[in-house]
C-alpha cells in the first residue's frame, strides 16, 4: 500500500522522443479509434446475428437469396474493396516516408476503389429491386438490405474521410507529422473491409 | 503569440467555404464568459456540472411523474389519470430515470472527477466531451417534446415488440429516435472517458493505484461501449419497421419477436451494471474517508467490479424466463444469475469490513453510503430470487419486480449518488452542505423509500400485476398501495429538503480544499478547482496518495499526521490557495492570460484547449434530423443531416486551440490535439 515509485525526482515522467506523453505511449486518438472500432464490432455483430436468425424464416413462395444473388459479380466488387486495403497501406507507407505525391495517389486510389464498391452495391440493389426484392417483401429483404446498407454507409463515410485527407494533402495541410491521421482513417478502412469479408461469407457464400 | 505546435495551420483564419459560419460565430476563446462561456465550454468540470444539473432537473420531472402514478394507484378504481395518460407517464418515468437521470448523473460525476482523480488536466477529447453533453440534452428535450406533439411514448421503457411496432401515432417513434440520440451521447462519453483513464494518468498513477471510483466508472464505460451498439441495432430495426414497414418484428411475415427481447436485454442487463457500478465506486470512496481506514481489500474490489462487468453479459435471459426458452438456456441463465451475486456479495462484505473498527464519523455522505449498502443488499437478495426460475415465473410482471429494481436503482444507485453529492459538493462549489438538513434529507428519504417500495414486495407476491392503471377494490391491495403513495410523498419531501439545503448553503462558509480529511487527489487542489486542475502534474507514489502525503505511521501502525511544512517535495505546486482566490474560479486563467508576461507564482500559464461552438452545433442537428425522419418530411431530415455534416467538418478543421487564444508557457501536458478526422 505504501509502495514507492523509483522514478526520477521530477514531476514529469521522462518521455521518449517521438512518443506522446501518455500512459500507454499511444496517442489518445489511436486509443479512441480502437475503442470505437471495438464498439462497432457489436453493431455489426448484432446486425449479422439478425440476418442469420431471419435468413431461413421468410414465408415460402417469396423471394429467396438464390433467386437474386450473382456471386461472381459480388466477388469482383468484394475483390475491389479488399484491394483498397492494400492501397491504404501504401498510402500510409508513403506519408511515413514523406512522399506526398504518392500519398495523394494512393489515398485517391483507395477512395476510388471504395467508391467503386459503393457504386457496385447501388447497381446490385437496383437489380434486386427490379427482381422484386425490397425492404418490405419478406424477412430476407428486410435483413439483407439493412445489413448490407449499413455496411455501405460505413464505406461511404470512409470514402468521405479519404477525400478529406486528399484535399488536406493538396492544400499542404497533411504534413508527415500528421501521418497518424492517415493511419487512423486506415484503421477504420481496414475494419470496414474485414467486416465485409464476414458479411460476404455469411450472406453470399454460406448457402 | 507563441503557439506550441508550429505545424498548426495558421492559414485557417481566412475561413474555407465549409467554415463560413465562423465569420458570424466568432471562435469563442478563453475570454468568452457568461452563457456563451457555458455553451461553448470544453472544460470537463463545467461539462460535469451541466450534466449533473440537467440530470437533476430530469430527476425532478421523473419524480413528479412518479407522484402522478402513485396518486392514481393510491386508491382502487381511481380516475385521476386515464389509461392512456398512465401508459405515457409510466413509460416516461422509467425512460427518464434510467436514461436521463442515473446515467447522466454518473456521467457528470465521472466527467468532473475522473480526470482530477488520475491527476490529469482535462479529458482526452474535450470537444467530444462537450458533444456528449449537448447530445444528451438534445435527446432529452427531443424525448420530452413528444408531450407537446401528440403524446409521449407509451410502450413501456423496454418497448416490447410487436406492441411497439404496431402502436399508432408517433409516440413510440419519439422513444426510438430519442434513445438513439442518447446512445450517441453515451458512446462518445464512454470512448472519451476510457481513453482518458487509459492514457492520461499522472506519472506514478498505475492502474492499481487508481481510486476505486475511477475503476468502477471505467468498467461502466466499457459496458457502455459494448452495450450501446446492441440497443442501437435493436432501435434501428424497430425504427425501420415503423418508418419503412420492414419485417423485423412483423409476426405475420414469420419474424420472431423474441429477437427484440434478446437484443434489448443484451443491452439492458449490462445497463443495470452501468447504473450501479459508479454508485458502488462512490460508496467505496466515501466509506474509507469517514471510517478513517483504507478500503478493505482494494484488489478484490477492483477484480469483483471487473468480474461483474464480464458476468453482466451472461445473465440477460433472466429477464425472459417466462418466454419459454427451453430448459438448457433457462438453467444456464439461472445459474449465472445466482453466480453474479458472488462478486456483488464480496463487495458488500468489503464495505462492512472497511467500516469495521474504523473511527466512524456519521456525516451525511456516510449515512447515504450505509443506506446504499443496506438497501442494495435487500435489492440484491430479491434479485437472487429472480434467479430461481419457478419463483421468477410467479413474480414476472408483478410488483415484486418493481420492488426489486427500485431497491437496486433508487436504494442502490440514487443513495450512492446522493452520498457522492454530499461528499463532493464542497469540491464542486467550495461550499459545504448543511449537515442537519442533510441528515433530515437522509432519514426522510430512507423512511419514504422503504414505505414506498417495501410494500411492492407484498403487493407483487399477492399478485398485483405491474403496468395496470387501476385495480378493483377488495383484492387486498388497497392498504399497501395507500402506504406506498404516502411514502412517495415522504420521498418528495426529502428531495425538497435537499433543494432547500443547496439553496441555503449558497452563501455559507467556504469549505476549503479538504473538508473531510480525504484520501484522493481531488482534495489536494482548491475548491472549486481552477480550470487547469493541477498547477503541476502530481507525481503519485501510492494508492490513497493524498492520505500518504498527510499521514505517516508510527511504530504501532497508527496514522500520525506529517508535519505539513516539510517532507513533501511534490506538494510544492499544490499548496492551498486562499479561498477568496479560488472563488474567481474559471476566470483566473483567462484574466491572467491577458497580460501574458508574468511569472507569478500563483498564476501559472497552463495551456488549455479552446472552447468551441461546434459540439453544440452538431448536437442541434440531431433532433432536426430525427423530427424529419419521424414525420417523414425528408427535406427536414436532409437539412438536419447536412447541418450535422457541415458542423462535423467545421469541427474537424478547427484547431483544438484557437491561434488568438491564450498564450502558452511552460510544459504543455494537457493541450493534446483533438480529433483530426471526422469520426462518424
Task: Please write the tens of the pLDDT for every residue from B467-504.
Answer: 999 999 989 999 999 999 999 999 999 999 999 999 99
Quick one: pLDDT at residue B604?
Answer: 61
Per the DSSP assignment, residues forming a β-bridge with B510 are B431
Check whether the bond before B139 is cis (ω within 30° of 0).
no
Cell of B174: 419519439
Is residue B9 scored above 60 in pLDDT? no
Q: In terms of C-beta distances under 8 Å and separation of at least 24 residues, what long-range contacts does A156-163 make, across chains too?
A: A156/A118, A157/B680, A158/A114, A158/A185, A158/A188, A158/A189, A158/A192, A159/A111, A159/A114, A159/A115, A159/A118, A160/B678, A161/A185, A161/A188, A161/B677, A161/B678, A162/A107, A162/A108, A162/A110, A162/A111, A162/A114, A162/A189, A163/A111
Give counts: helices (H), strands (E), chain B. 24, 2
Residue written as grid cell 424466463 = B321
SS3 at position B552: strand
Hey, how many other C-beta atoms are within 10 angstroms of the C-beta on B439? 15
Cβ <8 Å between A46 and B233: yes
B81-94 average pLDDT score: 95
Which of B123-127, B296-300, B365-369, B506-510 bottoms out in mean pLDDT, i.e. has the lowest? B506-510
Q: Do B248 and A1 touch (CB under 8 A)?
A: no
Question: CB A28 to CB B237 under 8 A?
Answer: no
Instruction: Provide the grid cell at B679.
Output: 469520426
Pick from B342, B345, B354: nearest CA to B297: B354
C-beta of residue B301 within 8 angstroms of C-beta of residue B212: yes
Cβ-in-10-Å burial (0-12, 13-18, 19+) of B525 comes to buried
Nearest to A12 among B11, B652, B667 (CB): B667
CA neighbours closer than 13 Å in the CB half-sphere of residue B49: 15
What's the average model confidence in pLDDT over B33-61?
Answer: 92
Question: Which pLDDT score is estimated for B427?
Answer: 94
Distances, alpha carbon B137 to alpha carbons B52, B132, B543, in Å: 11, 9, 36
Give the integer Cα–Cα distance in Å for B191 and B229. Answer: 13
Q: What is the mean pLDDT of residues B131-152?
A: 95
Beta-strand relationship, B551-553 and B559-561: antiparallel
Interface of B with A in 604-643 (CB under 8 A): none
B 219-248: CB under 8 A from A: 225-230, 232-234, 236-237, 240, 244-248
Which regions of chain A are under pLDDT 50?
Answer: 1-17
Residue B424 has pLDDT above 80, yes or no: yes
**Whether the predicted model's global pTM rises above the 0.95 cut:** no
CB contact under 8 A, B255 and A39: no
Q: What is the mean pLDDT of residues B628-651?
A: 94
Whole-number pLDDT of residue A126 = 95
d(CA B662, CA B666): 13
Chain B contact set for A143 (CB, 8 A): 248
Q: Which helix (H) or strand (E) holds B561?
A: strand B559-561
Q: Does A101 touch chain B (CB under 8 A)?
A: no
* Distance between B526 CA and the closest CA of chain A, angstroms: 19
For chain A, the distance separating the N- and C-terminal CA atoms, rounded to the nearest angstrom, is 59
Q: What is the DSSP letter of B319?
A: G
pLDDT of residue B3: 39
As a whole number of angstroms, the distance between CA B636 and CA B642 comes to 10
Tell the burial category of B509 from Cβ atoms under 10 Å away from its Cβ (0-12, 13-18, 19+): exposed
Q: What is the dihedral of CA B94, B95, B100, B101, to 10 degrees?
A: 10
B675 or B541, greater pLDDT: B541
Which residue in chain B has the smallest CA separation from A164? B677
- Residues of chain A numbered 6-35 and touching chain B (CB < 8 Å): 7, 9-13, 20-24, 26-29, 31-33, 35
The answer to whether B201 and A23 have CB atoms below 8 angstroms apart is yes
pLDDT-based confidence at residue B557 (cuts at 50, 70, 90): confident
Q: Which residues pair with B551 in a beta bridge?
A: B561
Q: How many helices (H) and strands (E) does chain A have?
A: 6, 0
Block residue for cell numbers 493511419: A183
Residue B560's φ and ψ, nearest 5 degrees, are: -125, 135
Contact A136 B245 (CB under 8 A): yes
Q: Is the ipTM of this complex over 0.85?
A: yes
Cβ-contact B30, B589 below 8 angstroms: yes
Confidence bin at B21 (pLDDT 50/70/90)? very low
Contact B28, B610 (CB under 8 A): yes
Q: ω before B228 within 30° of 0 (cis)?
A: no
In whole angstroms, give the CA distance from residue B134 to residue B123: 16
Q: Evaluate if residue B415 carries a pLDDT over 90.
A: yes
Distance CA A98, CA B98 (A): 50
Least confident of B228-237, B266-275, B317-326: B317-326
Cα B391 to chain centroid distance, Å, stands at 33
Q: C-alpha distances in angstroms, B128 versus A88, B4, B150?
A: 27, 22, 33
Distances (CA, A) of B369 to B366, B383, B420: 5, 20, 8
Amino acid at each position: 500500500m505504501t509502495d514507492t515509485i523509483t522514478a526520477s525526482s521530477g514531476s514529469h515522467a521522462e518521455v521518449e522522443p517521438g512518443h506522446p506523453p501518455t500512459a500507454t505511449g499511444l496517442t489518445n486518438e489511436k486509443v479512441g479509434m480502437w475503442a470505437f472500432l471495438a464498439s462497432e464490432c457489436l453493431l455489426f455483430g448484432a446486425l449479422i446475428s439478425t440476418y442469420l436468425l431471419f435468413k431461413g424464416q421468410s414465408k415460402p413462395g417469396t423471394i429467396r437469396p438464390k433467386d437474386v444473388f450473382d456471386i461472381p459479380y459480388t466477388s469482383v466488387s468484394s475483390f475491389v474493396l479488399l484491394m483498397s486495403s492494400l492501397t491504404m497501406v501504401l498510402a500510409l507507407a508513403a506519408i511515413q516516408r514523406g512522399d506526398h505525391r504518392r500519398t495523394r495517389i494512393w489515398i485517391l486510389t483507395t477512395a476510388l476503389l471504395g467508391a467503386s464498391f459503393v457504386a457496385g452495391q447501388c447497381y446490385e440493389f437496383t437489380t434486386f429491386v427490379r427482381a422484386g426484392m425490397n425492404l418490405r417483401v419478406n424477412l430476407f429483404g428486410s435483413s439483407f438490405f439493412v445489413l448490407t446498407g449499413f455496411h455501405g454507409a460505413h464505406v461511404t463515410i470512409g470514402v468521405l474521410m479519404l477525400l478529406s485527407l486528399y484535399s488536406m494533402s493538396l492544400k499542404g495541410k497533411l504534413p508527415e507529422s500528421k501521418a497518424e491521421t492517415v493511419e487512423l482513417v486506415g484503421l477504420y478502412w481496414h475494419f470496414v473491409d474485414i467486416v465485409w469479408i464476414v458479411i460476404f461469407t455469411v450472406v453470399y457464400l454460406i448457402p | 503569440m507563441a503557439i506550441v505546435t508550429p505545424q498548426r495551420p495558421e492559414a485557417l483564419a481566412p475561413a474555407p467555404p465549409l467554415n463560413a459560419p465562423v465569420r458570424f460565430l466568432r471562435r469563442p476563446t478563453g475570454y468568452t464568459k457568461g452563457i456563451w462561456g457555458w455553451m461553448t465550454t470544453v472544460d470537463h468540470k463545467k461539462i460535469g456540472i451541466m450534466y449533473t444539473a440537467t440530470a437533476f432537473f430530469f430527476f425532478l420531472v421523473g419524480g413528479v411523474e412518479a407522484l402522478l402514478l402513485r396518486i392514481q394507484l393510491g386508491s382502487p378504481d381511481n380516475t385521476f389519470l386515464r389509461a392512456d395518460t398512465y401508459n405515457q407517464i409510466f413509460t416516461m418515468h422509467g425512460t427518464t430515470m434510467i436514461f436521463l437521470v442515473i446515467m447522466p448523473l454518473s456521467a457528470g460525476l465521472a466527467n468532473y472527477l475522473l480526470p482530477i482523480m488520475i491527476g490529469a488536466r482535462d479529458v482526452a477529447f474535450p470537444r467530444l466531451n462537450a458533444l456528449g453533453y449537448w447530445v444528451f440534452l438534445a435527446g432529452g428535450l427531443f424525448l420530452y417534446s413528444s408531450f407537446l406533439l401528440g403524446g409521449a411514448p407509451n410502450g413501456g421503457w423496454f418497448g416490447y415488440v410487436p406492441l411497439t411496432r404496431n402502436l399508432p401515432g408517433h409516440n413510440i417513434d419519439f422513444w426510438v429516435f430519442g434513445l438513439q440520440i442518447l446512445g450517441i451521447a453515451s458512446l462518445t462519453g464512454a470512448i472519451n472517458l476510457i481513453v482518458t483513464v487509459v492514457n492520461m494518468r499522472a506519472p506514478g498513477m498505475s492502474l492499481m493505484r487508481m481510486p476505486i471510483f475511477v475503476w468502477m466508472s471505467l468498467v461502466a464505460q466499457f459496458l457502455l461501449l459494448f452495450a450501446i451498439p446492441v440497443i442501437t441495432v435493436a432501435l434501428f430495426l424497430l425504427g425501420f419497421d415503423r418508418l419503412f414497414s420492414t419485417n423485423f418484428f412483423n409476426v405475420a411475415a414469420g419474424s420472431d419477436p423474441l429477437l427484440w427481447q434478446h437484443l434489448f436485454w443484451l443491452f439492458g442487463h449490462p445497463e443495470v451494471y452501468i447504473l450501479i457500478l459508479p454508485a458502488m465506486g462512490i460508496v467505496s470512496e466515501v466509506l474509507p474517508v469517514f471510517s478513517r481506514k483504507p478500503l478493505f481489500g482494494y484488489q478484490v474490489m477492483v477484480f469483483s467490479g471487473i468480474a461483474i462487468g464480464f458476468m453482466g453479459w451472461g445473465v440477460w435471459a433472466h429477464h425472459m424466463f417466462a418466454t419459454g426458452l427451453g430448459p438448457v438456456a433457462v438453467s444456464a441463465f439461472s445459474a449465472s444469475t445466482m453466480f453474479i451475486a458472488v462478486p456483488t456479495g464480496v463487495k458488500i462484505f468489503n464495505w462492512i469490513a472497511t467500516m469495521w473498527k474504523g473511527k466512524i464519523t456519521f456525516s451525511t455522505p456516510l449515512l447515504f453510503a450505509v443506506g446504499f449498502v443496506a438497501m442494495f443488499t435487500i435489492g440484491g437478495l430479491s434479485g437472487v430470487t429472480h434467479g430461481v426460475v419457478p419463483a421468477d415465473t410467479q413474480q414476472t410482471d408483478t410488483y415484486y419486480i418493481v420492488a426489486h429494481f427500485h431497491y437496486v436503482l433508487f436504494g442502490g444507485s440514487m443513495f450512492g449518488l446522493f452520498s457522492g453529492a454530499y461528499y463532493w459538493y464542497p469540491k464542486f462549489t467550495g461550499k459545504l452542505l448543511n449537515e442537519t438538513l442533510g441528515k433530515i434529507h437522509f432519514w426522510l428519504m430512507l423512511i419514504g423509500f422503504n414505505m414506498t417500495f417495501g410494500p411492492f414486495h407484498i403487493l407483487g407476491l399477492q399478485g398485483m400485476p405491474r403496468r395496470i392503471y387501476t385495480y378493483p377494490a377488495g383484492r387486498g391491495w388497497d392498504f399497501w398501495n395507500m402506504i406506498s403513495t404516502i411514502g412517495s410523498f415522504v420521498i418528495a419531501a426529502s428531495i425538497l429538503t435537499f433543494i432547500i439545503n443547496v439553496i441555503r448553503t449558497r452563501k455559507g462558509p467556504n469549505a476549503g480544499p479538504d473538508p473531510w480529511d480525504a484520501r484522493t487527489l481531488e482534495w489536494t487542489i482548491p475548491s472549486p478547482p481552477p480550470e487547469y486542475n493541477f498547477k503541476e502534474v502530481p507525481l503519485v507514489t501510492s494508492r490513497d496518495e493524498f492520505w500518504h502525503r498527510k499521514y505517516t505511521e508510527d511504530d504501532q501502525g497508527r496514522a500520525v499526521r506529517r508535519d505539513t511544512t516539510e517532507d513533501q517535495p511534490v506538494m510544492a505546486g499544490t499548496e492551498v490557495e486562499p479561498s477568496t482566490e479560488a472563488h474567481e474560479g474559471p476566470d483566473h486563467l483567462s484574466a491572467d492570460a491577458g497580460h501574458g508576461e508574468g511569472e507569478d507564482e500563483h498564476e501559472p500559464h497552463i495551456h488549455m484547449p479552446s472552447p468551441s461552438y461546434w459540439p453544440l452545433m452538431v448536437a442541434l442537428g440531431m433532433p432536426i434530423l430525427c423530427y424529419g425522419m419521424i414525420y417523414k418530411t425528408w427535406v427536414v431530415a436532409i437539412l438536419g443531416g447536412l447541418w450535422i455534416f457541415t458542423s462535423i467538418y467545421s469541427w474537424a478543421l478547427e484547431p483544438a486551440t484557437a491561434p488568438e487564444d491564450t498564450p502558452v508557457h511552460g510544459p504543455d501536458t494537457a493541450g493534446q490535439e483533438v480529433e483530426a478526422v471526422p469520426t462518424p
